[in-house]
């Protein structure tokens, strides 16, 4: 701490009369424990009362939904299947889901969103048509669950309950491994088999999150009808790495969200992936949110306080990283996002008027949660050693 000390006899009067406020002030030191406590308090406020940019009509802290499991269940043989594709959607994405099922060709656990019980009969009828199409025209083994929103207008959630849906689909899966992916993606040919082989060959598969590199199709977002169908078929035709490379050279595909959110998938290290023929480990970095396959029993539940668009998957991958899992990128195989219009939640998130608030809150959220996980990990390690 800075000390002023007594005035010397040879100090002149001007110095002696100098006001205290013009002299150097001592530096304040705040204990690290106090900083952490303050951080947890602020984090609690941020966590429990998300701003309008995240949820335009904030529901209760945690909203309960009715879940119906096993309404539609594939009758196909499941012998030898070790990995289930876990996803969720609303009825407007059924055309994407059918394409995803055709490309995957194996076990799928899907949760379909029903806004209210009044919508159930209509949604169920549309789901039955989609399910029959998948059952008859693909090799996919699909099981469908429903998540139904509450009817009380005061509690009705105006945002898509994405993490509730993910948890419902994850809970319905029963295979040793699960592949966690959004409905707008189609995979390369044989990805299901490659994941099975890769997990079986790993000595520590139960501690590994296998990263499947994600790409996106450039353009086509605003197409409709037959034009959109043709564009989606071009994406579905990218069945192997060589065809994907040709599309990249032509500027038709790029790494997923590399323009709008580089940290989201940057750690996958795409330059290395293009030349790799064996799996490789990457570090989890801030805001990293790859699509992964992992041992089902070790996948934590998604935080259901996140709704709509933004941070819902980042928080989940952060939990996985702090559980001690390694992130290992699979070579040769990949997923590509089909072109589609932005969802209403994404439009709200992209509102330029909220950009500064969104960026700041995202950074505060990530910093506080990361520090909390680090402290929890340290306490656990010290307890085990003690």
SS (H, E, C) 22-52: HCCCCCCCCCHHHHHHHHHHHHHHHHHCCCC
pLDDT for res 158:
66
3-state secondary structure of 139: coil
- Counting Cβ atoms within 10 Å, is residue 29 exposed (0-12), middle (13-18) or buried (19+)? exposed
Residue-wise pLDDT tens for the chain (386 aa)?
A: 434 344 444 444 444 444 444 555 555 555 655 555 555 555 554 444 333 333 333 444 567 789 999 899 999 999 999 999 999 999 999 999 999 999 999 999 999 999 989 999 999 999 999 999 999 999 999 999 999 987 664 555 567 899 999 999 999 999 999 999 999 999 999 899 988 888 777 665 568 999 999 999 987 666 677 888 898 899 999 999 999 999 999 999 999 988 888 888 999 999 999 999 999 999 999 889 999 999 999 999 998 887 776 678 898 999 999 999 999 999 999 999 998 555 555 545 455 445 544 554 555 555 555 666 666 555 555 555 55
Q: Looking at the structure, tell me whether residues 89 and 227 fall in a common domain.
A: yes
Clarify whether residues 156 and 47 are in a common domain.
Answer: no
**Pair 211, 303 in one domain:** yes
In this structure, the answer to whether residues 344 and 363 fall within a common structural domain is: no
Length reported for the chain: 386
What pLDDT does 308 receive?
Answer: 74
Predicted pLDDT of residue 65: 87
Say what the pLDDT of residue 32 is.
58
Total structural domains in the chain?
A: 2
The span from the CA of 85 to the CA of 291, in Å, is 11
Residues 218 and 85 in one domain: yes
Are residue 160 and residue 277 in the same domain, yes or no?
A: yes
Question: 9 and 135: one domain?
Answer: no
Residue whose tokens read 């099981």? 143
Tokens matching residue 172: 């319905």
pLDDT at 142: 98
Distance between CA atoms of residues 57 and 339, nearest Å: 28
Same domain, 361 and 216: no
**What's the pLDDT at 16?**
43
The range of the structural domain enclosing residue 209 comes to 54-350
Check residue 52 and give its pLDDT. 31
DSSP strand pairing (177-180 vs 291-295): antiparallel
Predicted local confidence at residue 45, as pLDDT: 44
pLDDT given at position 227: 85
Q: Cβ distance 96 to 88 under 8 Å?
A: no
pLDDT at position 196: 84
Q: Do 241 and 211 belong to one domain?
A: yes
Q: What is the pLDDT of residue 242?
A: 96
The CATH number for 302's domain is 3.90.550
Our CA angle for 83, 146, 212, nearest 5°, is 30
* Residues 120 and 250 reside in one and the same domain: yes
The pLDDT, as a whole number, for residue 263 is 85
The string of DSSP letters for 214-268 reads EEEESS-TT--HHHHHHHHHHHHT--SHHHHHHHHHTTSEEETTTTT-GGGTGGG
Please tell me whether residues 22 and 83 are part of one structural domain.
Answer: no
Same domain, 241 and 169: yes
């Amino acid at each position: 701490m800075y000390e002023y000390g007594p005035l010397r006899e040879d100090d002149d009067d001007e110095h002696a009369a100098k006001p205290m406020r013009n002299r150097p002030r001592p530096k304040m030191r705040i204990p690290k424990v106090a900083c952490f406590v303050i951080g947890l308090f602020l984090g609690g406020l941020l966590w429990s009362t998300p701003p309008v940019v995240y949820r335009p009509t904030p529901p209760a802290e945690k909203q309960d939904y009715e879940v119906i499991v096993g309404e539609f269940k594939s009758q196909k043989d499941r012998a030898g299947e070790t990995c289930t594709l876990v996803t969720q959607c609303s009825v407007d994405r059924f055309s994407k889901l059918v394409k995803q099922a055709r490309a995957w060709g194996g076990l799928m656990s899907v949760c379909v969103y029903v806004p209210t019980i009044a919508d159930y009969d209509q949604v169920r009828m549309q789901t039955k048509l989609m399910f029959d199409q998948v059952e008859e025209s693909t090799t996919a083994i699909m099981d469908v669950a429903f998540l139904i929103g509450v009817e009380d207008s005061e509690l009705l959630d105006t945002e898509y309950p994405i993490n509730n849906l993910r948890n419902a689909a994850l809970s319905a899966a029963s295979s040793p491994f699960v592949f966690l992916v959004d409905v707008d993606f189609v995979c390369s040919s044989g990805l299901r088999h490659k994941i099975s082989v890769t997990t079986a060959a790993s000595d520590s598969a139960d501690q590994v999150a296998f990263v499947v590199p994600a790409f996106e199709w450039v353009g086509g977002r605003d197409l409709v009808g037959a034009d959109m169908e043709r564009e989606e078929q071009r994406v579905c035709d990218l069945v192997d790495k060589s065809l994907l490379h040709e599309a990249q050279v032509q500027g038709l595909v790029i790494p997923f969200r590399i323009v709008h959110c580089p940290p989201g998938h940057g750690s996958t290290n795409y330059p290395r992936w293009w030349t790799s023929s064996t799996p490789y480990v990457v570090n989890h970095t801030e805001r990293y949110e790859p699509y992964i396959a992992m041992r089902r029993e070790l996948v934590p539940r998604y935080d259901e306080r996140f709704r709509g668009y933004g941070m819902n998957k980042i928080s989940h991958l952060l939990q996985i990283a702090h559980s001690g899992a390694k992130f290992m990128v699979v070579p040769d195989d990949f997923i590509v996002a089909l072109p589609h219009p932005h969802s209403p939640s994404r439009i709200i998130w992209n509102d330029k008027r909220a950009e500064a608030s969104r960026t700041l809150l995202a950074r505060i959220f990530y910093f506080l949660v990361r520090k909390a996980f680090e402290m929890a990990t340290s306490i656990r390690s010290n307890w085990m050693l003690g």
